[in-house]
Every structure is written in C-alpha cells, then in structure tokens.
Amino acid sequence: MKYLVIGLGNIGTEYHNTRHNIGFTVLDALSKASNIVFEPDRYAYVTKYKFKGRTIIMIKPTTYMNLSGKAVNYWLQKEKISIENSLTIVDDLNLDFGTIRIKQKGSHGGHNGLSHICQTLGNSNFPRMRFGVSNNFSQGKQVDHVLGKWTEQEEIDLHYRVKTMIEAIKSFATIGITRTMNNFNGKIEN
C-alpha cells in the first residue's frame, strides 16, 4: 500500500516557520522523528516513510505554492498512487488556530495551492488536511498574516498540534479517511 502525503509551503528561508508553510513544518517534524531525510528530486523534496506495512511518499513541492499542482500530478503518476491515497496538508484562514479539518474532497476555498492542484488534476476530489491559522488580521493584511511567523503563544501550542497532525497522517494510511476524519476533525486539545 502506497500513499502520497503532500505538505504545501514555499521554499526559501524567508518562508521557514510561517503559517503558510504548515505543510512543510508537519512533514519536517515527521521526518525528524523518524530519522529520515528529504532529498531534492523533480518538483519537490522527497522522502519515504515506512509505517505498519505502508509506504508513505512525502513531498514538499519546490514549485512554490501557486504551482503546487505540478508536483502533485508528477508524483502521483511517478509513484502510481491513486488520488484517494493522497493527503494534502494546507493552512486555512477560515479555521481557528490549531483546528484540524480533514475532508475527502472539497473546494479550494480560495487557497492558491489547492486551487492549482484542482486545476492541474481537473477535479477537487482529493483528501486534504486543513490546519487553522485563523483570520486574526486587519483588512488588507491577509498576505502578511499567512506569510508571517507564528506568535510566541502559537509557537508553544504548535508543537502539540503538529504531533496530532502526524498521528492523523499515520491514521489516514492505516485505517482510512473516514475513521481518520471522525477521530481528528476539530481536534485542538494539547
């Protein structure tokens, strides 16, 4: 059983540890905890994670957020993984900080990375895990908010949220999307 887990983000040190890069943050934490290393490859940094008989290909696209579909499409085809066995990790302004929302499919909700994936794949029928970054910003400051660093308090709480998201990835690969949604949606406790 093979799975593709996509952590959306932007490459470059200026984007490190920003809200928009939560996908990179989660996959980096999982790779560090598992003693595996990302290597540069076509359109993405890539690594393989073995868990309970499953192979989870993890990618961090190097195409920048707005062209994420290029990497997703390439790696789905290269690894011969069905779209149902993919999970895209993304930030969400419409959810309170730390809220996790896993869905089997849905609209892009105005997120440029998801929008490009939908456009490239020709549909929006792919699993995604959204992480709430809140909409706590002044009018016209959306870009500053999503590309901004976490607050001191968010940093503290983020550690626990990332652990929960890692557990959700493992759950997705072992017990499937439906039970994973039931177990993790809305979960924000430490």
Please give the Cα distance from 132 to 90 (Å, whole number): 9
Whole-angstrom CA distances from 140 to 101, 128, 144, 146 are 25, 27, 9, 12
20 is catalytic: yes
Count of residues in the chain: 190
Q: What burial class does residue 24 get, using C-beta atoms within 10 Å of its C-beta: 0-12 exposed, 13-18 middle, 19+ buried?
A: buried
The answer to whether 182 and 46 are in contact (CB under 8 A) is no
Please give the Cα distance from 80 to 74 (Å, whole number): 10
The single residue of 16, 20, 111, 116 carrying the catalytic annotation is: 20
Smallest CA-to-CA distance from 145 within 60, 13, 22, 6 is with: 22
Collect all residues with Cβ–Cβ distance below 8 Å to 63 and sequence separation of at least 6: 43, 44, 70, 71
Please give the Cα distance from 140 to 145 (Å, whole number): 10
Provide φ and ψ at 135, rounded to 5°. -115, 40
> Which residues form the catalytic set?
20
